[in-house]
Amino acid sequence: MSLPQASARATREIDWSPRNSELVLLVFLPLYLGLIWNTHLPLSIPLLKAFAFKGAQLVGGVYLLAVPLVISKALWWRFSRTGVTRLDREVWRAAANPFCSTSFLFLSMKRAVVVLGSIYLFLHLKHLILWFHTANYDQFFWDLDRWLHFGVQPNIALLEFLSGYPAAQVMLDWLYMKYFDFMLLVAVLFMLEPRSRKLSDAFFTAYSLFWLVGGLSYFAYPADGPCYAMLAQYSVGMDTAERAHLFRFPLQTDLPEKYLTAYQEAKIPTAKYFQQRLWKDRQVFLAGKGYPGAFYGVAAMPSLHVAAVTMMSVFLFAVSGLLGLLGTAFLVVTLVGSVVLQWHYAIDGYAGVIFGLATAFLALRTPRLLGRCGDDDLSQFRTPIRD
């Protein structure tokens, strides 16, 4: 039996050519910057600093999780009749491949930039929708939802159904916000390259695509979601000045009393808090009185929460059936939660599922455009010992 070894040159060699995910970011960067600079919204320095710190955490998390992987790999070789009789320096060096290489560190840093850079640009763009497209399609999506569901309005039906289950409301409220942790955790997983570098490259390509293309898709049919378009007097405030906006919300005043009561009594404190903060930040920005803080923009169609979890579930299935099922379960929770919490119409989620599947399919089918092609690493979760 022989252990895989990276040559000293391979350990130090860095592949400088951009990968597909980086090309996506580079292509959309000037477009996004042009749109942003066409308004009085500057690039947020506080957000940039926060994301730089988060990027360091991502890379650090990769190496932190690599430690148990290296240990488990070495122990597997030692006790699984692979011919390794003792854990000497050669075994540990082989187990640590490629995490100890300069090229892996550089690639991890670039992937962190793609992950956070895509979100950074996306967050700025959400505030600009009303600058370039002042139409509103909330009423259209509200009516379309009812038509698609044979006369049943999902936002009303689901919230009323769960009105007697406060524990379920609290759980949905909590899990919906855990989406951000889920997203970063999955990103770290694919930075560790659980199957192959080719699969991880495709994941980060899909990741950058759905944020950057998804951000632009908001301009097609802008909508703010039922929490504002239908429930503004409760999500924002009863005072007319609090609801001052380009559109006269709520759009409907003949909504079922049970629905209105169910929202007011719903145990969804996190959703209600962010719904109010997002609205206030938007008002300040539109009035030219200040710039957004940590809360960026309102946009509902399509649901990129749902799109992200859909795309990630596809890639999790490529790693493990169990991980794929867990991702799908979280997708169902996210889709239902987006409607119950009144962030989205059901059609927003359906569009998100289609968009997430499309980005995953496109990324998986697109070969590397620049640099070396092919599967240029060993799987980290499978034993790379060969006869």
> Tokens in use for 351?
């569009």
Domain for residue 28, yes or no?
A: yes
Query: HEC string of 199-247?
Result: HHHHHHHHHHHHHHHHHHHCCCCCCCCHHHHCCHHHHCCCCCCCCCCCC
Domain for residue 26, yes or no?
A: yes
Domain for residue 135, yes or no?
A: yes
Domain for residue 338, yes or no?
A: yes
**Is the confidence at residue 33, as pLDDT, over 70?**
yes
Q: pTM to 2 decimals? A: 0.82
Q: Which ranges of the chain does DSSP label H, i.e. alpha helix?
A: 8-12, 20-37, 45-79, 89-95, 102-126, 129-132, 138-148, 154-161, 166-177, 179-191, 197-217, 226-229, 232-235, 257-265, 269-286, 304-319, 321-340, 346-365
Residue 230 near residue 252 (C-beta atoms within 8 A): yes
Query: Which of the 8 DSSP states describes residue 386?
Result: B
Measured over the CA atoms of residue 37, residue 40, residue 43 and residue 47, the dihedral's sign is negative
Tokens 């995953």 found at: 360
As a whole number, mean pLDDT of residues 328-332 equals 93
- Tell me the C-alpha distance between 306 and 352, whole Å: 5
- Which of 83-87, 174-178, 266-270 has the lowest average pLDDT? 83-87
- Tell me the C-alpha distance between 93 and 241, whole Å: 66
What per-residue confidence (pLDDT) applies to 254? 81
Dump pLDDT digits (tens) for 341-372.
Answer: 988 999 999 999 999 999 999 888 877 666 55
pLDDT band at residue 382, thresholds of 50, 70 and 90?
very low
End-to-end CA distance of the chain: give it in Å, rounded: 5
Range of the structural domain that residue 228 is part of: 8-365
As a whole number, mean pLDDT of residues 176-191 equals 86
> Tokens in use for 194?
């659980």
- Considering its fold, how many domains does the chain have in total? 1
Domain for residue 371, yes or no?
A: no
Q: How deeply is 347 buried, as exposed, middle or buried, from its count of CB atoms within 10 A (0-12, 13-18, 19+)?
A: buried
More confident residue, 378 or 57: 57
Domain for residue 377, yes or no?
A: no
What per-residue confidence (pLDDT) applies to 135? 77
Domain for residue 3, yes or no?
A: no
As a whole number, mean pLDDT of residues 49-75 equals 81
Q: Over the chain, what is the mean pLDDT?
A: 79
Domain for residue 220, yes or no?
A: yes
